[in-house]
Structure 1
Amino acid sequence: MKREFLKESGAYLQGAAMAAVSKPSITGFTRLETQPTTVSLKLGLQAPLADPLWMLARQWQFNEFQGEDAGTPLSVRFEVSGLPVSRLRAGAEKDRQPWQALAPGQAPIETRVEAEAVWRTHPRLRGEAGLQLLRRVDAGARPVLCSAYPLALPAPTDGAADMAGLLWSGVLPGRTLDAQALAADLTPLRGADGLLTGLPAALAALPATVQAALDPWLAWLDGVVFEGNEADEAAAGNPAWQRERFEYAFALGTGPAAPGVGAVALDVPEYTDGHVDWDEFRARPLADNGGNGGDAAPARRFSVAQRHPTPVRYPGMPADRYWEFEDGNVNFAGAEAGATDLLRLSVTEFALTFGNDWFMLPVRLPAGGLYRVTRFEVVDSFGIVSTAGPISAVTTSPWRMFEVNAAPALKDLLAHTVFIPDSLDGVMESEPLEQTLFVRDEMANLAWAIEKKVQGVSGEALDRDLEAKGLAFQQQVKFAATDPQLVYRLATPVPANWTPLLPVRRNGLQLADPLDIQLERAGMKRFYPAPAVLGADDPAFSDFLDGLDAQPNFISPLPIPEDANVRAYVFYPRGHLLRQNPNRPMPEAERLWLEEEEVPRIGATLKRKFQYARSADGRSWLWVGRSKTAGRGEASSQLRFDVAVKASTLR
Structure 2
Amino acid sequence: MRLPVWTRLEPEAAADDVGAGLAAPAADPAWLLARQWQVGELTAEDAASPVAVEVTWTQFPIDQIVLGGVARRFEATVPLEAILEPEPAVQPSWRTRLTAGAALRDRLSAAGASVVVPAKLAPDAVDDPVARALVRGLGGRALDGEAALTALTRDPTGATLLTALAAPITAATTAAVTAWATWYRARTSRAAPSAWTAERAAYQAHLTVTTDAGRWALVADAYRGGRFDWAELRAEPRPLDRPPTPVHGQAALLPAPISFRGGPARRFFEFEDAAIDFGGLGESVDELASRLLVEVALVYGGDWFVVPVELPVGGLCRLDRVAVRSTFGEVTAIAAPRAGEPWRAFTLAALPEFLPILPTVSRSLEGPLLEQVAVARDEGANLAWLIERRVADGLDRGQPLAAPPAPAAPAPPALDRYRPIAPPPAGWRPWVQRGDVVVPAGLPTPLPPPRTALAATFTRMRAADLGRDGLMLERRWQVAIAGDGQPRAWVERRQRPGAGDLPSGLGFDVVDRAADPP
TM-score using structure 1 length: 0.68
Looking at structure 2, the residues matched to 417 and 403 of structure 1 have their Cα atoms a distance apart, in angstroms, of: 6
Question: Does the CA-based 8 Å contact 2:230-2:358 persist in structure 1?
Answer: yes
Tell me if 1:450 matches 2:410: no
Question: Does the CA-based 8 Å contact 1:247-1:270 persist in structure 2?
Answer: yes
Q: Give the counterpart of 1:419 among 356, 376, 379.
A: 356
Match of 1:439 in 2: 376
Residues 370-400 of structure 1 show CA distances to partners (whole Å, capped at 9, x for unaligned) of: 112111222211122222223679x864x62
Tell me if 1:601 matches 2:478: no
Match of 2:97 in 1: 126
Query: Structure 1 pair 76/315, CA: closer, same or farther in 2 (3 Å)?
Result: same
Tell me if 1:145 matches 2:122: no
Amino-acid identity (%): 27
Q: Give the counterpart of 1:379 among 325, 340, 344.
A: 325
Q: Give the counterpart of 1:113 among 70, 78, 84.
A: 84
Q: Which amino acid is the alignment partner of residue 17 of structure 2?
A: V
Question: Does the CA-based 8 Å contact 1:85-1:297 persist in structure 2?
Answer: no
Q: Give the counterpart of 1:278 among 217, 230, 239.
A: 230
Aligned pairs for 1:203-214 within 5 A: 203=164, 206-208=166-168, 212-213=172-173
Match of 2:410 in 1: none
Tell me if 1:634 matches 2:501: yes
Residues 301-322 of structure 1 show CA distances to partners (whole Å, capped at 9, x for unaligned) of: 1112x32222223455544555
Match of 2:438 in 1: 519
Looking at structure 1, the residues matched to 123 and 114 of structure 2 have their Cα atoms a distance apart, in angstroms, of: 16
Question: Does the CA-based 8 Å contact 1:114-1:624 persist in structure 2?
Answer: yes
Structure label with greater radius of gyration: 1
Match of 2:47 in 1: 70
Question: Does the CA-based 8 Å contact 2:113-2:173 persist in structure 1?
Answer: no
Structure 2 runs not aligned, ≥5 long: 408-412
Question: Does the CA-based 8 Å contact 1:279-1:405 persist in structure 2?
Answer: no
Q: Give the counterpart of 1:248 among 203, 208, 212.
A: 203
Shift of 1:347: 3.4
Looking at structure 1, the residues matched to 108 and 25 of structure 2 have their Cα atoms a distance apart, in angstroms, of: 78
Looking at structure 1, the residues matched to 113 and 179 of structure 2 have their Cα atoms a distance apart, in angstroms, of: 23
Match of 2:459 in 1: 592
The count of residues paired between Structure 1 and Structure 2 equals 509
Aligned pairs for 1:149-168 within 5 A: 149-154=121-126, 156=128, 164-165=130-131, 167-168=133-134
Query: Structure 1 pair 353/391, CA: closer, same or farther in 2 (3 Å)?
Result: farther
Match of 1:40 in 2: 18
Q: Which amino acid is the alignment partner of residue 352 of structure 1?
A: L
Q: Which amino acid is the alignment partner of residue 403 of structure 1?
A: T
Q: CA RMSD in A?
A: 4.0
Residues 84-137 of structure 1 show CA distances to partners (whole Å, capped at 9, x for unaligned) of: 21111125xxxxx132221444x3211111112477141221112112233445
Match of 2:74 in 1: 102
Shift of 1:20: 0.9
Match of 1:354 in 2: 300
Match of 1:20 in 2: 6
Looking at structure 1, the residues matched to 263 and 430 of structure 2 have their Cα atoms a distance apart, in angstroms, of: 56
Shift of 1:422: 1.0
Q: Which shifted more, 108-117 or 340-349?
A: 340-349
Shift of 1:190: 3.0
Residues 522-563 of structure 1 show CA distances to partners (whole Å, capped at 9, x for unaligned) of: 45443xxxxxxxxxxxxxxxxxxxxxxxxxxxxxxxxxxxxx
Q: Which amino acid is the alignment partner of residue 112 of structure 1?
A: I
Match of 1:498 in 2: 428
Question: Does the CA-based 8 Å contact 1:402-1:418 persist in structure 2?
Answer: yes
Looking at structure 2, the residues matched to 248 and 119 of structure 1 have their Cα atoms a distance apart, in angstroms, of: 17
Looking at structure 1, the residues matched to 141 and 464 of structure 2 have their Cα atoms a distance apart, in angstroms, of: 50
Question: Does the CA-based 8 Å contact 2:255-2:307 persist in structure 1?
Answer: yes
User: Any idea what SS the aligned residue of 1:99 has?
Assistant: strand
User: Any idea what SS the aligned residue of 1:612 has?
Assistant: strand
Q: Give the counterpart of 2:452 among 575, 578, 581.
A: 575
TM-score using structure 2 length: 0.84
Query: Structure 1 pair 137/98, CA: closer, same or farther in 2 (3 Å)?
Result: closer
Q: Which amino acid is the alignment partner of residue 205 of structure 2?
A: F
Residues 169-189 of structure 1 show CA distances to partners (whole Å, capped at 9, x for unaligned) of: 543564302111112112343
Question: Does the CA-based 8 Å contact 1:77-1:377 persist in structure 2?
Answer: yes
Q: Which amino acid is the alignment partner of residue 369 of structure 1?
A: G
Looking at structure 2, the residues matched to 621 and 437 of structure 1 have their Cα atoms a distance apart, in angstroms, of: 28
Looking at structure 1, the residues matched to 222 and 273 of structure 2 have their Cα atoms a distance apart, in angstroms, of: 43
Shift of 1:462: 4.6
Looking at structure 2, the residues matched to 574 and 336 of structure 1 have their Cα atoms a distance apart, in angstroms, of: 44
Q: Which amino acid is the alignment partner of residue 223 of structure 1?
A: W
Query: Structure 1 pair 377/169, CA: closer, same or farther in 2 (3 Å)?
Result: same
Q: Which amino acid is the alignment partner of residue 404 of structure 1?
A: L
Question: Does the CA-based 8 Å contact 2:108-2:176 persist in structure 1?
Answer: no
User: Any idea what SS the aligned residue of 1:208 has?
Assistant: coil
Q: Give the counterpart of 1:400 among 344, 350, 355.
A: 344
Shift of 1:492: 4.1
Tell me if 1:220 matches 2:160: no
